[in-house]
């Protein structure tokens, strides 16, 4: 089973991908995590795009994804979060999966208002040591600014600062919104209301997946 969780930044793709991964027993591929690991390794090519909230060029992203898809860990399926972001990437993904004798089974389109997205993202805090993610609104740390998993300091990522968040949303609206129509025409799209709390959204997602996937197999 190959799934895509789709939607604007801050809508909850990462959180739901992790929950769905545990439920369906298939790995979660987060392009955001992949990019940040690349940056930590000293890839200056990505830094200039990610920190400014701009899209990384398709050619760069596609190479990263194609390499990941060949990983043995994904042979039984995956949940793809943060990719594709353009029609060109979507077409590349379809071709890459075809070579592996696979296809996308369902695209989950998470929907929330711009106001809610900005509120969520600017409240997000990350642990620089273990990578845990908290939110001052929905997933509060027990101790202020302290990671509940390893005890290290929590920080706000540069791409979660208000000015950068607004730019990221604008970039999404300008360049990636057409993907909604692209997957709708392919009859792969399922809209999900992402405004409730994560557990409620997760229950809605599971219901849709269990209903739609059997119909396509």
Catalytic residue at 120? Answer: no
Residue 95 falls in which region: left (phi positive, over 0), alpha (psi -120 to 50) or beta:
alpha
Residue 185 burial (CB count, 10 A): 9
Cis peptide bond upstream of 84, omega within 30: yes
Of 168, 184, 197, 199, catalytic? 168
Catalytic residue at 125? Answer: no
Of 124, 142, 184, 199, catalytic? 124
Of 102, 157, 167, 184, catalytic? 157
Catalytic residue at 13? Answer: yes
Contacts 24+ apart (CB under 8 A), 86-91: 86/55, 86/58, 86/175, 86/176, 86/179, 87/178, 87/179, 87/182, 88/58, 89/58, 89/61, 89/62, 89/65, 90/179, 90/182, 90/183
Which residues does residue 30 pair with via DSSP β-bridges, in sequence order? 81
Of 25, 36, 85, 101, catalytic? 85
Catalytic residue at 168? Answer: yes
Catalytic residue at 85? Answer: yes
Q: Which residues form the catalytic set? A: 13, 85, 124, 157, 168
């Amino acid at each position: 089973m190959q799934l895509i969780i789709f939607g604007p930044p801050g809508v909850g793709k990462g959180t739901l991908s992790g929950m769905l991964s545990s439920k369906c027993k298939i790995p979660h591929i987060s392009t955001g995590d992949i990019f940040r690991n690349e940056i930590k390794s000293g890839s200056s090519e990505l830094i200039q795009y990610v920190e400014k909230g701009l899209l990384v060029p398709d050619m760069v992203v596609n190479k990263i994804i194609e390499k990941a898809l060949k990983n043995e860990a994904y042979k039984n399926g995956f949940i793809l979060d943060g990719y594709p972001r353009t029609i060109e990437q979507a077409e590349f993904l379809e071709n890459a999966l075809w070579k592996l004798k696979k296809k996308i089974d369902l695209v989950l389109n998470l929907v929330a208002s711009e106001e809610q997205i900005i509120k969520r993202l600017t409240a997000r805090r990350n642990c620089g040591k273990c990578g845990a993610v908290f939110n001052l609104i929905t997933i509060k740390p027990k101790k202020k600014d302290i990671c509940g998993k390893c005890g290290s300091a929590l920080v706000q990522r540069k791409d979660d600062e208000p000015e950068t968040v607004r730019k990221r949303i604008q970039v999404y609206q300008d360049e990636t919104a057409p993907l909604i129509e692209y997957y709708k025409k392919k009859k792969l799209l399922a809209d999900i209301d992402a405004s409730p709390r994560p557990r409620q959204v997760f229950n809605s997602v599971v219901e849709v997946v269990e209903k739609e996937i059997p119909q396509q197999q």
